[in-house]
């Protein structure tokens, strides 16, 4: 068998050429594929062959291996960096930090610090409406093209959503990127969360809200001055409430955190899962690989096993009421298009339902009370509205709650300042489409676009004056009208098209109406029952300082004192 012999110079050229060839293979995708066998062959085979040729000229095998690896990977990485920074790249004209243009590892680092929302906002303040935040990703805050991104004729979900799914099973609704399949799988969610279905859930919400209020009231005790008070972390109790309600609505019960506290550590597990998944959104192709390392993603697996267990139990036992899982599992057989949905796809809805129904509501409720306590005048105004609408009975009538203007203004203003997803609402052109137009800009296929709500919601061109401040009145007046604030009058500008806390278009949040009913009831009943203040000694500034962007907003403790109202 003839074995070619190369000089040392030719060996360097051989390894370098292989590096360029491998990059050419991957250049179309800008990221390695999730099919790991070809990746391993392409990244391992060339250095092995090159080592053989180097060893023909260098007696030491270790030195030959070093030269082979250094030359091949040096050429590969050099080619990648040169291309990503060159005019040949489709995103060359978009400004952004050099490190972000070169590698997604930069944004992984930012994400790991929990302050991605603040960092992306600082980039837009420096570079403008369009910023390149990755080798193949831009951030856009141009509201005039939001319909082109998120609307009915917009783009499907981008690659970050691959990191939100279990790669070993069929994806849940939130992780489906194919528009037709998403539309098909969305139908039972629409049915489960329709206006008529949500109306049926109201008694369950009311029951759990009253349990929350009564449990907090029973926990009050006299302080040193004889005042009956309760001191504690309100965020934790919102978590107990939301898990109990979510368990009722999705799994037919099974959670009693308000009664037993979180003795099984469910909420810390959810928080750890959220933190683990946050960095994976930047390397979705590596999700399946990293899930094999418990030290990195063990909490993700644990939480999925927990959610799958409850979902499987609920599917097996059925239900005597039409809860959310009743529609997701098509128990009455009325949804013909659901017959081909696999059991794994149905069970994956359990994890999605927990996150959507529990974690997001907790974060917003905590934010509402934080901002109200920071602004006693607005707290008093909201309490007056609650007392006026519900003078003698518990505030549990959803239709009357929905008509409370200042209540809705407070919730809107909280969602503006603290959206559930602060940064990564990502979309990308349909596969095979070639690209997508955003106004007058053409986005090539393979490019992802994010719409960072934290930045959009605080942009003074959309919300002014005081875009960083809590002013519910901005929602009570029409755009550019005059309203009173403190002792002065200001010209308010509120661009409703820039307010996207529940997203928009075919992939918007299907649980918006249910979440709003939950929040209104909790807020109103607690304001009816209690006088609420920050706990003595609580560092108020710590709330915003410790708030984190982990794809889903993560709030810190909100320590308060409750006193029963007379």
Q: pLDDT digits over 57-88, tens only?
A: 888 999 999 999 999 999 999 999 999 999 99
- Encode pLDDT of 394-423 as tens digits: 999 999 999 999 999 999 999 999 999 999
- Nearest-angstrom CA–CA distance, 119 and 126: 11
Mean pLDDT of 226-244: 85
User: Are 230 and 337 contained in the same domain?
Assistant: yes
From 85, 107, 125, the end of a domain falls on 85
pLDDT grade for 372, boundaries at 50, 70 and 90: very high
User: Are 71 and 201 contained in the same domain?
Assistant: no
In 3-state terms, what secondary structure has residue 489?
Answer: strand
* Domain assignment of residue 425, yes or no: yes
SS3 sequence of 402-459: HCCHHHHHHHHHHHHHCCCCCCCCEECCCCCCCEEEECCEEEECCCEEECCHHHHHCC
From 85, 112, 127, the end of a domain falls on 85
DSSP 360-384: HHHHHHHHHHHHHHH-HHHHHHHHH
Q: Kindly report the backbone phi and psi dihedral angles of residue 151, in degrees, each rounded to the nearest multiple of 5, phi listed first.
A: -75, -175
What's the CATH number where 298 sits? 1.10.630.10
Domain tally for the chain? 2
pLDDT grade for 225, boundaries at 50, 70 and 90: low
User: Are 246 and 353 contained in the same domain?
Assistant: yes
- pLDDT reading at 341 higher than 60: no
- Nearest-angstrom CA–CA distance, 435 and 170: 26
Q: What is the DSSP letter of 358?
A: I
User: Are 67 and 188 contained in the same domain?
Assistant: no
pLDDT of residue 333: 61
* Domain assignment of residue 188, yes or no: yes
Domain with 22, as residue range(s), is 8-85
In 3-state terms, what secondary structure has residue 201?
Answer: helix
* Domain assignment of residue 497, yes or no: yes
CA angle (284, 153, 457) in 5-degree steps: 70
- pLDDT reading at 453 higher than 90: yes
Rounded to the nearest angstrom, the gap between the alpha carbon of residue 236 and the centroid of all alpha carbons in its chain is: 20
How big is the chain, counted in residues? 566
* Domain assignment of residue 101, yes or no: no
Please tell me whether 140 is known to bind a ligand: no
* Domain assignment of residue 335, yes or no: yes
HSE of 350, CA atoms in CB hemisphere, 13 A: 22
* Domain assignment of residue 433, yes or no: yes
User: Are 80 and 188 contained in the same domain?
Assistant: no
- pLDDT reading at 176 higher than 70: yes
* Domain assignment of residue 103, yes or no: no
Task: State pTM to two decimals.
Answer: 0.90
* Domain assignment of residue 303, yes or no: yes
From 68, 85, 102, the end of a domain falls on 85
């Amino acid at each position: 068998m003839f074995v070619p012999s190369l000089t040392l110079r030719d060996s360097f050229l051989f390894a370098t050429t292989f590096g360029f060839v491998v990059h050419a293979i991957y250049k179309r995708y800008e990221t390695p594929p999730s099919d790991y066998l070809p990746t391993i062959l392409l990244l391992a085979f060339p250095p092995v062959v090159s080592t053989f040729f180097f060893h023909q000229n260098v007696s030491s095998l270790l030195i030959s291996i070093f030269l082979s690896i250094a030359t091949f990977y040096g050429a590969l990485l050099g080619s990648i960096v040169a291309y990503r920074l060159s005019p040949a790249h489709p995103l060359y004209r978009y400004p952004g930090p050099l490190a972000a243009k070169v590698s997604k590892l930069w944004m992984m680092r930012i994400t790991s610090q929990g302050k991605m929302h603040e960092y992306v906002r600082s980039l837009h303040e420096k570079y403008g409406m369009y910023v390149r935040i990755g080798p193949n990703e831009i951030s856009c805050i141009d509201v005039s093209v939001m319909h082109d991104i998120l609307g009915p004729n917009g783009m499907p979900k981008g690659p970050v959503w691959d990191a939100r799914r279990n790669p070993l099973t069929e994806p849940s609704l939130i992780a489906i990127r194919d528009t037709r399949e998403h539309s098909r799988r969305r139908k039972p969610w629409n049915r489960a969360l329709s206006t008529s279905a949500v109306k049926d859930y109201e008694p369950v919400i009311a029951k759990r809200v009253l349990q929350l209020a009564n449990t907090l009231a029973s926990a009050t005790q006299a302080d040193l001055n004889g005042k009956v008070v309760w001191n504690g972390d309100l965020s934790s109790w919102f978590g107990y409430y939301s898990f109990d309600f979510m368990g009722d609505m999705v799994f037919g019960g099974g959670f009693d955190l308000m009664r037993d506290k979180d003795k099984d550590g469910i909420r810390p597990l959810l928080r750890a899962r959220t933190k683990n998944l946050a960095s994976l959104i930047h390397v979705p192709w590596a999700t399946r690989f990293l899930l094999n390392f418990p030290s990195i993603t063990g909490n993700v697996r644990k939480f999925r096993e927990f959610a799958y267990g409850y979902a499987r139990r609920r599917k097996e036992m059925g239900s005597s009421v039409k809860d959310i899982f009743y529609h997701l599992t098509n128990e009455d057989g009325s949804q013909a298009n659901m017959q081909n949905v696999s059991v794994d796809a149905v069970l994956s809805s359990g994890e999605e339902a927990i996150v959507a129904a529990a974690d997001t509501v907790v974060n917003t409720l905590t934010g509402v009370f934080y901002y109200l306590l920071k602004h006693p005048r607005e707290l008093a105004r909201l309490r007056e509205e609650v007392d006026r609408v519900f003078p003698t009975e518990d505030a549990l009538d959803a239709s009357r709650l929905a008509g409370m203007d200042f209540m809705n203004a407070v919730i809107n203003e909280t969602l503006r300042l603290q959206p559930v997803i602060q940064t990564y609402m990502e979309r990308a052109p349909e596969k095979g489409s070639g690209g997508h137009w955003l106004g007058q800009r053409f986005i090539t296929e393979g490019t992802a676009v994010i719409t960072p709500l934290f930045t959009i919601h605080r942009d003074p061109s959309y919300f002014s004056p005081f875009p960083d401040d809590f002013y519910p009145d901005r929602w009570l007046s029409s755009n550019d009208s005059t309203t009173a604030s403190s002792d002065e009058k200001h010209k308010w500008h509120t661009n409703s098209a820039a307010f996207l806390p529940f997203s928009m278009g075919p992939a918007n949040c299907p649980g918006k109406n249910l979440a709003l009913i939950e929040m209104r009831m909790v807020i109103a009943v607690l304001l009816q029952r209690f006088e609420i203040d920050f706990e003595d000694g609580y560092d108020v500034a710590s709330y915003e300082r410790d708030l984190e962007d982990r794809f889903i907003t993560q709030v810190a403790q909100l320590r308060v004192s409750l006193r029963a109202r007379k």
